[in-house]
Structure 1
């Protein structure tokens, strides 16, 4: 049954992806109204996140950002559909990267850990291999969380690997990367690190968008374990259907930093990116459901 669902999803997703983007954006504009006004998809979460993150902004501006987020979220949906059949030529034109020469120079002698957030179209970032100097001894990919629905999980894995990116399940990340090093293969691996970790993974807190926030420390830990350079991907939307991302080197010597300092630096950089154009971050994610106060309480109870 699960194989049948996979092929059915694959067929309809592929057929929809063959539509030109301008037509898909027409459907995106139509989708916005029921999503925002009728279904009101996670509107309470979005509104709460925006109001708490930007207490200095007037209500009228916050509502404008809120509506712009939902418009963009609909665009993200149709752009992800389009990714299913987008050609390499189209992708090279629509998703561009700056600082590529620097990264190509680094990966001649070091691996790279790449920080990014759920900002702009993070699915299109999987096209990185099209822009780097690819060889048989170089791996480019991303860490991912398994989707509960097996058919959708398989579809997303297929889509994310269309442009030669490797998908590595989060809990297997260190094992895979150590193996690459043993095989004398260089890697650049992306970590989307702006989600809220489960209590078992909460190790540090920092100020982020007017909240005391915890971040996954996996990217920093792996960078130190593999002595990889740490790079931040600063993404911006140029216009509808076009993005540009700059590789920003944070450090080539992660072991010289105290624990969690690199993660705090990432949080600061991501906040600067979000404040520049807040409508393109994933505000519908319940980012602050685990509070610092609750953390202190749990810590004291377990002491």
Structure 2
């Protein structure tokens, strides 16, 4: 697709188009390097150049101030910089599909959920994997695809429509089908699951329509849709995590036992706790750059709600 065609087919601003051109250029440059070098380069560029200038580093530190105010500031900065490095590495890894699949052969798979998902595959029972923006969330998916699993997903579109176009296509290329978050996409995912399909959903995203679930000690509005979809389709609900190893390139994929007890809210709390446990062990691997809590917005919503019921 030509640049002019991309501009005519997608509605966006010239600023968004220019940002996308710059990001595409950086990705193309990195992809020209050997795998280990490109991953290290993107980690460094995002940590040292992009994150400080785009405000990501400050946002990560602000989030750490919010949930762990007693932590030493130097430790917070170290975690925030590690997060930005992991963010850069994850981005280019997920654009390096051939290499990601190649390295999946060396990914260690473990956890109480492994036997359950293999049994589900043999029986044709759907499985909905849930995870967070931690480590590389595509690494477990790639490892399972190499073993013959076909795993789709539900994703939230990026705000930049030009970048979102190739971002979504890249996820589909990893292993489709991929559905865009929303009523139509959710219906497509449910149909896919009811046919015995498997999919992955990232649940650690702020949504004003969600239930306030405590996350690292602070309320974070969270959609319960993962648990609801699993209930509708009789799917196993299995948390998994791709944990980056000390070499910066390898991963360990952990699969927790299926979540079975409780209603949708209780299961959402349970999956949140599985993510919290990983963050406590490897805080630099969670994407602190996300606006996960938005305490100011939550407070404004509480005030509006209180005013609406005041006599």
Q: Number of residue pairs matched? A: 288
- Pairs within 5 Å for 1:1-303: 1-3=4-6, 13=27, 16-28=30-42, 30-31=44-45, 32-35=47-50, 39=53, 41-81=55-95, 83-86=96-99, 88-93=101-106, 95-98=107-110, 99-107=113-121, 108=123, 110-134=125-149, 139-171=150-182, 172-180=184-192, 185-197=195-207, 199=208, 201-202=209-210, 204-239=211-246, 240-252=248-260, 257-290=262-295, 292-303=298-309
Work out the CA distance in 2 between the residues paired with 1:7 and 1:63: 30
Shift of 1:56: 3.6
7 and 170 in structure 1: CA distance in 2 versus 1, 3 angstrom threshold: same
Whole-angstrom CA distance in 2 between matches of 1:150 and 1:76: 20
Aligned alpha-carbon RMSD (Å): 3.0
What is the CA–CA distance in structure 1 between the aligned matches of 2:120 and 2:204, rounded to whole Å?
Answer: 25
Unmatched segments (≥5 aa) in structure 2: 8-16
Deviation string 1:185-208 (CA, Å, 9 cap, x unpaired) is 2122111110100x3x22x22221
CA distance in 2, matches of 1:7, 1:70: 21
8 Å Cα contact 1:112/1:229 also seen in 2 = yes
Structure 1 gap segments, 5+ residues each: none
Supply the distance in 2 between the matched residues of 1:156 and 1:118 (Cα, whole angstroms).
15
Q: Segments of 4+ in structure 1 off by > 4 A?
A: 4-15
Structure 2 distance, partners of 1:298, 1:158, is 40
**In structure 2, C-alpha distance between the alignment counterparts of 1:9 and 1:72, rounded to whole Å:** 17
What's the secondary structure of 2:197's corresponding residue? strand
Q: Indicate how the Cα distance of structure 1 residues 28 and 163 shifts in structure 2: closer, same or farther if over 3 A, else same.
A: closer
The 8 Å contact of residues 127 and 193 in structure 2, kept in 1 or not, is answered as no
**Which structure dedicates a bigger proportion of its chain to strand?**
1
**Structure 1 residue 129, shift from structure 2 partner:** 4.5
From the superposition, tell whether residues 213 and 17 of structure 1 become closer, same or farther in structure 2 (CA, over 3 Å).
Answer: same
Alpha-carbon contact 2:193-2:199 (below 8 Å) kept:
no
- TM-score, normalisation: structure 2: 0.79
Deviation string 1:138-178 (CA, Å, 9 cap, x unpaired) is: x5211112234444223122322334332111123442244
